[in-house]
Structure 1
Amino acid sequence: MNGVNRGVETPRATKVLPPHLFDWQLPPEWSWGPGGMVGDYRHYQEVVDALGRSLSLVTAPDPAHTPWLFEEAKQLAQRSHPSIPTTYHYWTAYRDARRGPGYLRRWVTGETVRARLARLGLADIPYVFQMLRGACSTLSYLHETGIAHGGLNGDALWTTPTGRLWMLEWQWAVPREAIPPGVRPGNGPLEIRSLEASRPMRAELLPMPPEWESGEWIPTPASDQWQLAAMCFTALTGEAPPSRGAPPIKLVRPETPESMATALDRALSPNAADRFPSLAVLLRAVDRGDPARTVVMVRGEPDSTAQESAEARVRWAVGDDYEILSKLGSGAFGTVWRARDLSLEREVALKALHPAIARDDKAVRAFWREAKLAAQLAHPAIVPIYDWDSSGDLSWYTMELAEEGSVASLVARSGPRQAAEIASQVEQVLDGLNVAHANGILHRDLKPENILIDRYQRWRITDFGIANVTGEDVAGTTGTPAFAAPEQLLGEQQGPAADCFALAAIVYFTMTGEPPFGDDDARSILARQLSERADLVPFPTVIANWFRTAFAAKPEDRFADGLEMKKAWGKATEKVLARQRGPWWRRVVS
């Protein structure tokens, strides 16, 4: 296929509602979300339902493509795989309705493979392993139904901040007769930066498999295999492979594991018959060289080699109940893993104490205390604790997996957010914080990393590691300096006002990308806090006044509690949003 029919540009973000949705009327209590994505013959618009969940409304801008859209929705409704977003509901267009056609599915966030490579440069080896495993599993499931994808490119694979992989662009994975004549998937250019320098390298459009060179687009499992291998080649080398005669990957990226390089070289064979008979066989060939997948688990104590591996120890300890999938993060006291609960068939976050710390009885008691404190708090804005246990010198507990990462990763990935986008989330977190305080629990270490985001974009508080129960000694230096209240940095008595100060600092960070009083040494931060030197110029007056009260140096000058702070935030943001909805001259003079 010499000329690529690109249709619409490959997925890109947009904050403008497209013309074909102008006349839509959503159900009562539903609203349009802050943005959408323009895709290949599709538009993906975020909508918020009456329960506050973010969903994706998938539509076809061209009315002639309605039967194709319906077939896509029907196919997704019948599929069940962790990497495939299933159809929740299909809105049919009819005379009395002011919406449709379109279907609802999960709103997938994170970033595409293409966007990640453009942001970070050449992919590291573990990321390519992850991409291969997730895509091979998904495509193998699809191939068993007798359908090939046919539209694999850097925009079809998404990864969430917690490492979960999603495969999209499902408009191509339908029976061929459902796709309008002349319509073909498109691929956009990709800009990557090299490992050695910041010099941009623009990759060409992802080449089509050699068997499509005659001009016919005929998706098969073998062509899917080639396209997936081509994506991995681009991720590893920064260049799209030629249809024929691709150089050996080890030659271009020498540190690539032998098993991965050999498998990808074979998958890129010009002759489809020379590729692997299936993606499952390809994956087995790749996994033979991945040390993370070659640990042999035996009953009894782990041997000395396993003792040197934190992952091996956790696998040994929890292997009867949980499958460890990947590492989410690590701190001074423990590591958080993405795991699958084998009994309930659900993914969870598993937090395990570092072995050295687990030998300290005091540390273990504090760890259990953290789990029990969090388990006492049942609120939508607080991450629930499921279970806790120990084996040998390893202690852990499991909690709900917040698949969209944290507020910190959101800002790092997407930049500062507007008040309209976070208004309801801040209210929810303040409500949850108020519940914790009403139960006599102070968090004392609120920071962007401890506000997680679930699959519906809801913010949730986690990590009560240094929390205190009212009545205990709550003096002493605690918290993360950039987000800690002055009384915390001074080691003075602390109350709910300290948590409210920290949450306001998180809101400031979310809206600006910077902590309100800097992030250098604690002494300098404290000096700015005591003189109340936060830069509030960028904010509307009502928001600035809210920050001014929240950042008061004296606790008694701040909001009395989370409830009062929530009400003040609601009034401030409502005024800002009302101005934005009003005429242009009101926005200018306000």
Structure 2
Amino acid sequence: MSLVKHRLQLSLQLPVPEVKNSEFIPFIHLSKPKINASQEVADLLDLEKLCVLGHGNHGTVYKVRHRQTSAIYALKIIRGDPDDSQQPYQPSHEMKILLSMDSPFIIKCLGTYESTAGEKAIVMKYMDAGALDTLVKANGPFSESSIAHIGYQVLNGLNYLHAFNIVHLDIKPSNLLVDKNMNVKIGDFGVSKIMRENEAPDYWDIYVGTYAYMSPERLDSNSYDYRYVYAADIWSLGVTLLELYVGHFPFLPPGKKPNWMQLVLITRFGEPLSLPEEASAEFRSFISCCLQKEPSKRWTASQLLSHPYICTNRRLED
């Protein structure tokens, strides 16, 4: 499915509210988690590697099987180099976030480990359908109702993270994990950040993650406003859901990979993205609320959960 040439203004369907100061998220500091092993997995030697599931930020994720119980898990081996100034990554940071989370929309961490070689590992719930990027490549574009079901779950996950002052910074199809029942969980917190009150931005807070899904203000640091840091995740979600709808990265023709300058020109100075003319008014409006160029005009995760597109189309909970 390709984008039609006729451009339709996305912002005509519903007014986009300004974000008021009262809507800023209060700072709630995470409690210190207990870094321990799962009762089910006492030792990493109990796990047999079956195959590589993917290469995440600073590590590799494997499908593994417990030798005694035959239970299947996902195992992330982290090999970050603390002396590498180009990769300011602390494994304990990702571990703290995962162990502190308790949401059905966030990947479940079953335990953290450290090998005698100094490698750190995270054992997580295994999602048997993989990630959304593999599904769209295999099956093509998703229907609007399926996208609403996915969006509802990811928004709940983001709403939970943002309430605890965590910005993911790398929302994209490959980081949204699904099972055979289309339950969706946010994964890969390798570049996520726990915000602190009155904290000043630094270079890595802006540029970490996958640039193809970065919001305009992150691509153009001159327009970066730290008050709206959570809005960056909303832009990335909008791009992700639009990719599911058209079946390819939405800013370029199928098969084309973007570069940094192209994305800056498209997202900062290009016209609003057009959708196929069969797209519903509710979906157009929803995407518009996510892809507002000015972060102050983007809807929050909480606001988007009440958007008519999500409320009308999402599947009923079991």
Same fold (TM over 0.5): yes
Quick one: structure 1 residues 429 and 332, their matched pair in 2 at CA, closer, same or farther if it must change by over 3 Å?
closer
Question: Does 1:443 pair with 2:168?
Answer: yes
Post-superposition Cα deviations, 1:106-145, rounded to whole Å, max 9, x if no partner, equal xxxxxxxxxxxxxxxxxxxxxxxxxxxxxxxxxxxxxxxx
Q: Distance in 1 between matches of 2:44 and 2:192?
A: 30
What is the CA-CA distance between 1:321 and the residue it aligns to?
2.4
Quick one: structure 1 residues 532 and 438, their matched pair in 2 at CA, closer, same or farther if it must change by over 3 Å?
farther
Question: Does 1:484 pair with 2:214?
Answer: yes
What is the CA-CA distance between 1:421 and the residue it aligns to?
2.1
Q: Distance in 1 between matches of 2:50 and 2:292?
A: 44
- Summarize the alignment of residues 297-446 of structure 1 with structure 2, pairs less than 5 Å apart: 320-331=45-56, 333-342=58-67, 345-354=70-79, 357-358=80-81, 360=83, 366-391=90-115, 392-446=117-171
Task: Output the amino acid matched with 1:437.
Answer: H
Q: 1:529 aligns with which of 263, 267, 275?
A: 267
State whether residues 411 and 510 of structure 1, in contact with CA within 8 Å, keep that contact through their aligned partners in structure 2. yes
Question: Does 1:558 pair with 2:298?
Answer: yes
State whether residues 403 and 454 of structure 1, in contact with CA within 8 Å, keep that contact through their aligned partners in structure 2. yes
Q: Distance in 1 between matches of 2:313 and 2:47?
A: 47
What is the CA-CA distance between 1:528 and the residue it aligns to?
1.4
What is the CA-CA distance between 1:514 and the residue it aligns to?
2.3
Per the alignment, residue 251 of structure 2 pairs with 517
Task: Output the amino acid matched with 2:273.
Answer: A
Q: Distance in 1 between matches of 2:233 and 2:101?
A: 16
Q: Distance in 1 between matches of 2:96 and 2:57?
A: 20
What is the CA-CA distance between 1:441 and the residue it aligns to?
0.3
What is the CA-CA distance between 1:573 and the residue it aligns to?
5.0
State whether residues 482 and 517 of structure 1, in contact with CA within 8 Å, keep that contact through their aligned partners in structure 2. no
Per the alignment, residue 466 of structure 1 pairs with 191
Quick one: structure 1 residues 543 and 398, their matched pair in 2 at CA, closer, same or farther if it must change by over 3 Å?
same
State whether residues 142 and 245 of structure 2, in contact with CA within 8 Å, keep that contact through their aligned partners in structure 1. yes
Quick one: structure 1 residues 319 and 458, their matched pair in 2 at CA, closer, same or farther if it must change by over 3 Å?
closer
Larger Rg, first or second structure (1 or 2)? 1
Task: Output the amino acid matched with 2:188.
Answer: D
Q: Distance in 1 between matches of 2:209 and 2:296?
A: 20
Quick one: structure 1 residues 550 and 398, their matched pair in 2 at CA, closer, same or farther if it must change by over 3 Å?
same
How big is the alpha-carbon RMSD for the aligned residues of Structure 1 and Structure 2?
2.4
Per the alignment, residue 151 of structure 1 pairs with none
What is the CA-CA distance between 1:542 and the residue it aligns to?
1.9
Quick one: structure 1 residues 361 and 386, their matched pair in 2 at CA, closer, same or farther if it must change by over 3 Å?
farther
Q: TM-score by structure 2 length?
A: 0.73
- Summarize the alignment of residues 149-168 of structure 1 with structure 2, pairs less than 5 Å apart: none
Q: Distance in 2 between matches of 1:342 and 1:532?
A: 55
Quick one: structure 1 residues 365 and 555, their matched pair in 2 at CA, closer, same or farther if it must change by over 3 Å?
closer
Per the alignment, residue 572 of structure 1 pairs with 309
% same residue: 26
Quick one: structure 1 residues 421 and 334, their matched pair in 2 at CA, closer, same or farther if it must change by over 3 Å?
same
- In the alignment, structure 1 segments of 5+ residues that lack a partner are 1-317, 578-590
What is the CA-CA distance between 1:478 and the residue it aligns to?
2.6
Q: Distance in 2 between matches of 1:479 and 1:421?
A: 26
Q: Distance in 2 between matches of 1:428 and 1:516?
A: 21
What is the CA-CA distance between 1:454 and the residue it aligns to?
1.8
Quick one: structure 1 residues 401 and 366, their matched pair in 2 at CA, closer, same or farther if it must change by over 3 Å?
same
Q: Distance in 1 between matches of 2:84 and 2:267?
A: 37
What is the CA-CA distance between 1:327 and the residue it aligns to?
1.5
Q: Secondary structure at the match of 1:370?
A: helix
Q: Which has the higher contact order (CA 8 A, sep 6+)?
A: 2
What is the aligned residue count?
255
What is the CA-CA distance between 1:415 and the residue it aligns to?
0.3
What is the CA-CA distance between 1:372 and the residue it aligns to?
1.4
What is the CA-CA distance between 1:544 and the residue it aligns to?
0.8
What is the CA-CA distance between 1:512 and the residue it aligns to?
0.7
State whether residues 358 and 393 of structure 1, in contact with CA within 8 Å, keep that contact through their aligned partners in structure 2. no
State whether residues 383 and 399 of structure 1, in contact with CA within 8 Å, keep that contact through their aligned partners in structure 2. yes
Post-superposition Cα deviations, 1:473-526, rounded to whole Å, max 9, x if no partner, equal 444223322211111112323511110111111110111112332341122112
Q: TM-score by structure 1 length?
A: 0.41
What is the CA-CA distance between 1:394 and the residue it aligns to?
1.9
Q: Distance in 2 between matches of 1:332 and 1:430?
A: 22
What is the CA-CA distance between 1:343 and the residue it aligns to?
5.8
Quick one: structure 1 residues 364 and 323, their matched pair in 2 at CA, closer, same or farther if it must change by over 3 Å?
farther
